[in-house]
Amino acid sequence: MIAESFTAAQIAVAAGAILFSAIVTAVAGFGFSLMSVPLMSLVIDLHSAVIVSSIVGVFANGVQTRLYWRQRERQIANRLCIGSIAGLPFGYLAYALVSDRALRFVLGGLVVVAVALLARGISLAHVGPGMDWVLGFASGVLNTSISTSGPPLVFDLQARKVAPEPFRGTLNYVFLISGCIGLVMFAVGGKVHLDQLRAGAIAVPALALGLLIGLPLRKRFSPQRFRVLVLVLLLVSAFAAVAKAFT
């Protein structure tokens, strides 16, 4: 039971982590798990933090997908989504067979390289749909292996110079569908428990408040400031991945 498993202080810190993460994802369009999992893992076990973040993240992505449904880049979104779904079973297999530490080191290194390329102004807008399939697949693998699915998708859309609103709409569309399927896979595998479901339910009001605060802040970010924010969050994801490898 949630009351027996988590203290009031743990619940308060988890709710605060969800609130902060919701504000970040409302502005940037991604970064919810990136922010919420490390913060929640300070007071609850990492597995529970991942599951609670995944549950609440579905609600966050659902809200933003609904808000920006028409702004998404449909063809790119569909390719990324199908690729991500295809990668989910392989990520689940990697979760069982491959060292978590090795996966996080590889992810951290690749993200740093990606940030360096984006910072230098790389443009892959001319590249064919193959890049979407490959990076979507990579996102799916990372989703069910180490719960960090955003970097490949973010790199794809930033390299294609997608504008902020279509960027957010496309990301959240992919996150919503792959997140729901990933949760089902974890549930079927017996990795989702009642106390985590209840913790997720308790965190939903904090999520709603974070979105209410964060969504209006989007207007304060010009395309250039938005690009800087995205690069900063990608770097945070790289350092977070490597840091978790040592825990």
- Overall average pLDDT of the 196-206 stretch: 86
- Model confidence at 229, pLDDT cuts 50, 70, 90, reads confident
CA atoms 18, 22, 28, 29: torsion sign: positive
User: 12-18: long-range contacts at Cβ-Cβ below 8 A with a sequence spacing of 24 or more?
Assistant: 13/39, 13/40, 13/42, 13/43, 14/40, 14/43, 14/44, 14/49, 14/52, 14/199, 14/202, 14/203, 15/202, 15/203, 15/205, 15/206, 16/206, 18/53, 18/56, 18/203, 18/206, 18/207, 18/210
* Residue pLDDT, tens place only, 15-68: 898 999 899 888 888 888 878 877 887 788 777 887 888 889 899 999 999 988
Average pLDDT of the chain?
Answer: 85
- Model confidence at 137, pLDDT cuts 50, 70, 90, reads very high
- Model confidence at 190, pLDDT cuts 50, 70, 90, reads confident
Q: Is the pLDDT of residue 75 over 90?
A: yes
- Model confidence at 247, pLDDT cuts 50, 70, 90, reads low
Cα radius of gyration (the chain): 17
- Model confidence at 222, pLDDT cuts 50, 70, 90, reads confident
Give me the pLDDT at residue 30, please: 83
